[in-house]
Amino acid sequence: MGFTEIFVATHDAALKHAGVLDAGSSAPAAKAVRITGISDFEVEQLGDLAGTAVHAGGADYELTMVDVSSDSLLAVPPAMVRALADLLTYETEGDGEVLDDVSGQWAAQDDMPFDAAKAKEYVQQVAELAGSVDDSERTGLYVWSA
């Protein structure tokens, strides 16, 4: 079964890591979340859910191709990075936690290979990665999908 890896890197480091993954290496990046059984499509779904949850719906949450040398490496757009990072600090007026709501909705998507508890773990990790993206270090959030 394939996997998707979401990681923080500079553009050059992301290309190098994608090349290693494309060659069949199983070593994850230093700052990465690896999720078995999903594709980049499910990551886009997560971005849409996060955007809606933090009232930033309607932005472009489509992953973009990074370089013609790797069609398995995609970049996460800045709006999606912000929405994901905001999941850690966003406060709602109701009783529910945004992270719980997004995790539950994501796990409920068609053919998701994990339950809401595991989804919450993944969403928390991805949100923390998004929060670690640093413009001054020229890092971004990337998705590699087998």
Encode pLDDT of 46-89 as tens digits. 999 999 999 887 888 999 999 888 889 999 999 999 999 999 98
**Mean pLDDT, rounded, of the chain:** 92
The size of the chain, in residues, is: 146
Range of the domain at 138: 3-145
Q: Parallel, antiparallel, or unpaired: how do β-strands 139-145 and 3-10 relate? A: antiparallel
pTM for the model stands at 0.93
Helix (H, G, I), strand (E, B) or coil at 2: coil
Question: CB of 44 within 8 A of CB of 67?
Answer: no
Question: Which of 84, 81, 44, 79 lies closest to 63, judged by CA?
Answer: 44
User: How many domains are there within the chain?
Assistant: 1
Per-residue pLDDT for 101 more than 80? Answer: yes
